[in-house]
Amino acid sequence: MEKERGRDKEMAAFLIKHHLEQLRSIILSSDPRLHYPLHVDFAELMEDNPPLAHLIFEHPKEFLPLFDDSAVWAQKVIFEDFKRMENASIKAYVHVRINFSGSPLEYPETFPSIGRVRVKHRGILLTLKGTVIRTSAIKMIEGEKIYECRVCKHRFKVYPEVETRNSTTRPTFCPSQNCESTRFQIIEERSICHDYQEIKIQESTQVLGVGAIPRSIPVIMKDDLVDIVKAGDDVIVTGVLTAKWSSDMKDVRCDLDPVLVANYVRRMNELKSDVDIPNDIILKFKNFWTDFKDTPLRGRNAILRGICPQIFGLFTVKLAVALTLIGGVQHVDASGTKIRGESHLLLVGDPGTGKSQFLKFSAKLSNRSVITTGLGSTSAGLTVTAVKDGGEWMLEAGALVLADGGLCCIDEFDSMREHDRATIHEAMEQQTISVAKAGLVTTLSTRTIVFGATNPKGQYDPDQPLSVNTALSGPLLSRFDIVLVLLDTKNPQWDAVVSSHILYESEQQKGNQDESLSDIWSLTMLRRYIHFVKGYFRPVLTKEAEKVISSYYQLQRRSATQNAARTTVRMLESLIRLAQAHARLMFRNEVTRLDAITAILCIESSMTTSAIVDSVGNALHSNFMDNPDQEYAKQERLILQKLSCIDDFPEIDTAEG
């Protein structure tokens, strides 16, 4: 008992010394019935009091409740200073949450992957990393009960056991030293209830070994931890590993299932994009664009070369991938109607044209991504599944919900069943999924980029519209901002160049990759660049860009015979999104004529019959130009002439002259 009191004082002294500000805000909070977290860094505790840190790590079941009690005791010590302030009161429900990140204990023994959790980890403070795949409803459970001995009147707490599904066993003996009584009475008015939620986390596929299947583990969250994560979040959970008996069902063997009782939960979604971009990298980006001030398109092409460097050429596809990943600006009007900012991309191509390579590379560039194939995807797997768990129904997130705020890649798009394909209509345009399953009626948000790849149906026929060649419906095709067709036509010069590039790639030994931007950009640099421009720039259309986009849209509407499914109002919105994405790619905050014309060229390459360029370009044979800026000047003049708005831009004639 004396030892415990000593430990209590040590813990309270540590909290007063290092976390006075947190204690102060808890004392001054208005509601005394709430549960308050008090965040402690384990590294700080280790530095200040190593024996205490070791005890908390080795015996968390005993010492974490003591730490919570010492937080209440610490409030009493410093309460005198705040007595006169309004709302000041000592809060009885304070929970010390221990954060392991940055501490010396970040090694595989205490930080195992979920699949490597074993019996030896039971009873210590364990940290696991994974993705939330299921969250249950929030329930209320009865917490610790207070019993009083009828002989010596000693009062003590009895805690519910996780092993027996949170039931409290009646005490059999009195814990005070000189009493041998076996008769107790419960103090009813002192019973405490807790908020309670179970979530399931699964190890992320990036860290798995060869041939391993991702494992999952249930996590119990209580009090202030409930409802802070949702399905699809990447989390780090610190807690105590214990086990509980599986539910008793007829003819099913009863097992002990591992379960983690959480002490601290941290979401990693917000951290990903912030941590990656230091100030010196941002300075590098700015200097890069200063160097290419006079030839901006050459600078843009230097960035695009870093996308899928193992594939030769395919300039149009690389530009389309970059614009899709960067995306436009979401527009919300006065009535609250949203026009999405995310673009969608569909690659239609013959076998061996590198479609899946682009999908895999895009998934690496995005901070949240899910890859799935058409044949293995049902409508429930893409949206949400209703699952029965312990007698009640709950929703489990599918691919589109898990990829919320990121990228969902669907390979072999054509092999999906028709009714399964129809479920993603709402997710692509309205960016929500409405569910009415098993008595659960709800709407989930899916602000995701859809990146599809498909083979043409049989031999691609250029005379037929896209919906016939791909067997995809018109409404679905109109939702894709860019649809690129990659045809494997036999071209001897192209084949010679590509084969030499592939052989050169396999010969070349990988040297040390420096972070210079003059050469091909590395994957980490591209990731950082895309994150930075998405968060930093909110481009606005100029009058010039508006004029060009409007003229092109009207021309397409007049000449749309074969592409009726594509030339809808959605095409106008796509043009605006792509122009904004190009402005972001070019490190600018305004959409100029250059961006509008690049957006037009992207849309043009996705048309089967072009309204402007006489020959339909095959995206497969598009290559990087030696002088992109001069080439652009020619294309701009040609497009403006076709749009009959060259007179609106007299500076072009003078430049040509």
Q: In this predicted model, which residue has the larger pLDDT, 231 or 540?
A: 540
pLDDT (0 to 100) of residue 651 = 63
SS3 helix, strand, coil % of the chain, rounded to 5? 40, 20, 40
Q: Amino acid identity of 228?
A: I
**How many helices (H) and strands (E) are present in the chain, helices listed first?**
23, 24
Does residue 428 carry a pLDDT above 80? yes
pLDDT (0 to 100) of residue 513 = 47
Q: Residue 542 and residue 76: Cα distance in Å, rounded?
A: 62
Residue 445's beta-bridge partner residues? 432
Does residue 105 carry a pLDDT above 70? no
Number of neighbours of residue 391 by Cβ within 10 angstroms: 6
Q: What is the pLDDT of residues 580-602, one digit of tens each?
A: 998 888 888 888 888 888 888 88
Does residue 219 carry a pLDDT above 60? yes
The model carries a pTM of: 0.75
In the block, residue with structure tokens 């149009």:
316
Which two three-digit tokens encode residue 65?
């409740």
pLDDT (0 to 100) of residue 654 = 46
Alpha-helix residue ranges (DSSP H) falling in 138-278:
269-275
Which two three-digit tokens encode residue 398?
């599918």
Nearest alpha-carbon partner for 78 in 88, 65, 66: 88
pLDDT (0 to 100) of residue 31 = 79
Number of neighbours of residue 507 by Cβ within 10 angstroms: 7
Question: Is residue 235 within 8 Å of 219, Cβ to Cβ?
Answer: no
Confidence of residue 205 (pLDDT cuts 50, 70, 90): low
Question: Is residue 345 within 8 Å of 484, Cβ to Cβ?
Answer: yes
Nearest alpha-carbon partner for 527 in 306, 372, 315, 356: 306
pLDDT (0 to 100) of residue 511 = 47
Q: In this predicted model, which residue has the larger pLDDT, 636 or 566?
A: 636
Q: Who contacts 72 (Cβ-Cβ below 8 Å, separation ≥6)?
A: 90, 91, 92, 94
Q: What is the pLDDT of residues 174-201, one digit of tens each?
A: 877 777 777 788 776 666 788 888 888 8
Q: What is the mean pLDDT of the chain?
A: 78
Does residue 657 carry a pLDDT above 50? no
Q: Who contacts 290 (Cβ-Cβ below 8 Å, separation ≥6)?
A: none
What is the largest distance, in Å, between two alpha-carbon atoms of the chain? Answer: 109
Q: What is the pLDDT of residues 614-651, one digit of tens each?
A: 444 556 666 777 777 777 777 777 778 777 776 666 66
